[in-house]
Each structure stands twice: as structure tokens, then as C-alpha cells.
Structure 1
Amino acid sequence: KLPLLKGATLKELSKKQPYQGITKGLLITDVQANSPAAQVGLMGGDIILAVNKRKVTSIADLNKATALSRNQLLIHLQRGQNFLYLVIK
């Protein structure tokens, strides 16, 4: 588990399992109230597209992208029609 994303439930997107037409990325299906993920502003329905400038399409990709993070992540995500960057320390 990644401590900075604790409290977020993730689902891998694919052509067989898209979310609102999006087929690549990690969908945040749920965020527990008052969890580290909620405190940094992650929300259910957000789609993580990249972490630390590395595209993520699977949990394995996420683990690789965060392996050298030293407790700071730059997350590129899609929220509805908007694209955002979050810096999580």
C-alpha cells in the first residue's frame, strides 16, 4: 500500500472496462473520509493518468512510478472534463 494514497480504492481501466469512455488510467472508485487520500483532495471518480510524469495504466505501473518518490508525488488526473495536477507531500 502507498501511504499517500491510503483510503483510496483504485480500479484499472481498460477497453473492456472503461469509465465514461476512458480506457487508460486508474479510476478512484472511493475515498474514505478523513483518509490521507481525502486530505490531499483526491475524490471518487478521479482518474489517475500519470504519477511523477510516468503514465500509469495499472497498479504495477503506480507502484513503479512511486518507488523513488521519497514521500512526494506529482499526480496528473482527470476530474470530469478537467485535467489537474496534485502535488502530494
Structure 2
Amino acid sequence: MSSAQEMLSRFGDAAHCLRHLARSRQELLQLVEGLTDEALLRRPGPEVWSPAEVLEHLALVEESAGKIIRRLRKVALGEAEPPAPAARSNPA
């Protein structure tokens, strides 16, 4: 088994991963549920995101990752062509 496969095996199968994501999402929602609007929107420092900004970022990343996973699944099932490799720029 390759080191990549060993690393992935620590996380279990897809169903286990989805259950873990659902559980952690629920825990996060419970944490922020009790926050006032002021606390949710307050930045702890000038260069630090507010809880609302962190939540928005998490939602965007989750959506983007979901699109990638769906695309890779279609490729693995032969329902879509693999994406073209990204062009590498040559350093000057």
C-alpha cells in the first residue's frame, strides 16, 4: 500500500467521512447558534476574520470541494473526461 493510500485509509470510507463532516458541521452550528449578531460580526483584530467571515469561507470551500469531488467521481466512473493539466508557467 502506498503512503498516500495509508494516509487516506486513516479516514475510512466515504460514508465515514460524510458522517464526520455532518457531525462537525452540526457542532459548529451549535457553537455559533448562541452568538449575538454583534459577536458574530466582530473582528477580534484588524487582520483577523470575524466568526461570520470564517463561516462564509468554510461554506465557499465546502462548495468548491464538493464540485471537485463530484467531477472526479464522474471521471472515475467514465462519465466525464479528465480535466486538462494546468499549464505551467516558466519562471523568467
The bucket for the TM-score relative to the shorter chain is under 0.3
**Greater percentage in strand:** 1
- Whichever structure has more helix as a proportion of its residues is 2
- State the TM-score, normalized to the length of structure 2: 0.22
Largest Rg, 1 or 2:
2
Q: Which has the higher contact order (CA 8 A, sep 6+)?
A: 1
Structure-1-length-normalised TM-score: 0.22
